[in-house]
Chain A
Amino acid sequence: MAENDAKNSPSEPFSADPQAFETIRRSRNRVLGLGLAAFVVLVFFISIAKMS
């Protein structure tokens, strides 16, 4: 199990390219946005489940 931890790390090359940074930032913000939207939907369903 612990042996596999290192494999979790993506090994993309380290780049200082501003365009690459922008892509990374945009991709992260998209994932964060989706995560927050999923959280809101989950809280809604939790409220429904707790009322039933």
Chain B
Amino acid sequence: MTTMTPPTPSSGTATAAGANAASVRRPAAWRDLFALTKPRVMSLVIFTGLCGLIAAPERIHPVLAFTAILCIAVGAGGAAALNQWWEADIDAGMKRTAKRPLPQGRLDRTTARDFALVLCSGSVFLMGFAIGWLPAAILAISIVYYAVIYTIWLKPRTPQNIVIGGGAGAFPPLIGWVAATGHITAMPLVLFAIIFFWTPPHFWALALFVKSDYAKVGIPMMPVVAGEKSTRRQIMAYAVLLLPLSVAPWLIGGTGLLYGASALVLSLVFLALSIRVGVRTRGEEDRMKPEKQLFAYSVLYLFALFAALVLDRFIVIGT
């Protein structure tokens, strides 16, 4: 890993900022190091990992449960930092990401890379020592999957990057479940599949209204490469697949009716919003309201679905 070099900055902003940073050698501020871990994305990772751990049929000591979630969060933060280290020049060219510490020159790349590697290796070893080597191995796979397979290899090469990258975000509930039980069963794999199939419509809804940004930096996002019409059709297709998958935990007997009914209602709304996005075409001066609504709802959907999973477990335990 240490011999790998990220792409040469192609943006004037990044180059100028980097040179400025190098000449004055500004020390790395903890806030900038913290920002490298993408804390807002991490909140969803922590939530789904915690849900996987709580929904599992076995209980572990609260200190070990806390450690497992901490390791998932730190591992995700390390992978996010590796992602920003590699993509600093791309981030500089996009309005959404240009204010991150690396494109602005508030951090140098070596510090960012070393910080990321410490977080990644530390989280895997702590998970192995405290919880077990199976969840530690899955955590390591998830980090490599996101930082290497997705960020370095597939993202700049294929418009299917988001489909494959969805796997990275799907790992936390699987790791949480395996941390609690020590083994892999059908239920955590279904939870993995739910997030895997949720990711494309979530990100493509975003990509539809920030398309120009991705096109500018040459990332082959689906709307840029295949066009809007194809992207909208695929959003609908994934929403259709997500419907039976989301109720699968109830169908296979892993949860009760509370989860099953919640998943059905939430997924039907998701499907309705996806169809609205799928059948429309962008007009003149279009503010992309349906796409923005689908993106916002997709975040709420995942939170609500996993919250229902946990509530269902508590109700089963309570009865």
Question: Residues of A at under 8 Å CB distance from B?
Answer: 1-12, 14, 16, 21, 24-25, 27-28, 31-32, 42, 45-46, 48-50, 52
Contact = CB atoms under 8 A, between A and B. Distances in A.
A14 B26 CA distance: 9
B278 to A, nearest CB: 21
A10 B32 contact: yes
Given A2-B41, A24-B27, A28-B27, 20 more contacts: A1-B40, A1-B44, A1-B202, A3-B206, A3-B295, A6-B97, A6-B99, A7-B40, A8-B35, A8-B100, A9-B32, A9-B35, A9-B99, A10-B31, A11-B99, A14-B105, A24-B28, A27-B29, A32-B30, A46-B67
A9 B100 contact: yes
Size bin of chain B's contact surface:
35 or more
Contacts of A28: 27-30, 33
B38 interface: yes
B109 interface: no
B176 interface: no
Give the interface SS of chain B, mostly helix, strand, loop or mixed.
helix
B63 A25 contact: no
17 contacts: A3-B206, A3-B295, A5-B97, A6-B97, A6-B99, A8-B35, A10-B32, A11-B99, A12-B31, A14-B104, A16-B24, A16-B26, A24-B29, A32-B30, A42-B67, A46-B63, A50-B64
A10 B33 CA distance: 11
A5 B67 contact: no
A46 B41 contact: no
Contacts of A11: 99
Contact of B130 (A4, A14, A46): A46
A11 B310 CA distance: 37
Contacts of B105: 14
